[in-house]
Amino acid sequence: MSIRLTLLCGGAGPTVRAARFDDGPLDERGVREARAAADRIPAASVCVRAPSLRCQQTAEALGLTAVAEKAVRDLDVGTWRGRTLAEVAADEPEALACWTTDPEAAPHGGESVRQLCLRAGLWMDGLPQDAGRVLALTEPAVVRAAVVHALAAPVSAFWRIDVPPLATISLTRRSGRWNMRLSPSDTER
């Protein structure tokens, strides 16, 4: 029996567009984009979401009923919460550089990238074998962490994965091993 896990990144709003370490609502454009993406979201027998307002509103815009799941919550950025990336870069450039190069670092007092990757991996590996198709609506950091885990990539690869709003990635698990599954191009459908 296999599991197909589709990870869907939440939509965009003012906090995302400002590169702010925070949760926030979708804006009108984000809601429109989510509604437009609804037809490309695969059916799932289990649908979970991060507990953030952003993911809740994305699920609503997509017409999904998704249960909040703490394991797929965003990376805890501690004292940086509410600040923009530009503010942190200006005020704490060494700390930011350390955080983006050392997977063990958590200069903000929150969670390290390694801790997030372990949390995501434990959740993925804990999915029941008979889960079937699972859709997880979550944050970009969790999508990155899941890909790192699935591919058994070094945690340093985390920052090399770009995850735009509403991006999806499919992972399959067979015989205890995760694989990444790319979608066919529109010309192949």
Give the pLDDT score at 41. 94
Using CA atoms, how far apart are residues 114 and 161, in angstroms rounded to an integer? 15
CA nearest to 125, candidates 91, 95, 149: 149
Give residue-wise pLDDT tens across range 123-179.
999 999 999 999 999 999 999 999 999 999 999 999 999 999 999 999 999 988 999
* Residue % of the chain over a pLDDT of 90: 93
Summarize the confidence of residues 44-67 as an average pLDDT: 97
Give the pLDDT score at 184. 65
CA nearest to 171, candidates 143, 140, 141: 143
- What's at 29, amino acid-wise? R
Q: Largest Cα–Cα distance in the chain?
A: 50
Q: Which domains does the chain have, with CATH numbers?
A: 3-77+111-188 (3.40.50.1240)
Using CA atoms, how far apart are residues 158 and 141, in angstroms rounded to an integer? 8
- What's at 3, amino acid-wise? I
Summarize the confidence of residues 93-100 as an average pLDDT: 97
Could you tell me how far CA 34 lies from the centroid of its own chain?
A: 15
CA nearest to 111, candidates 145, 88, 160: 145
pTM assigned to the model: 0.94
Name the pLDDT band for 188 (thresholds 50, 70, 90): very low
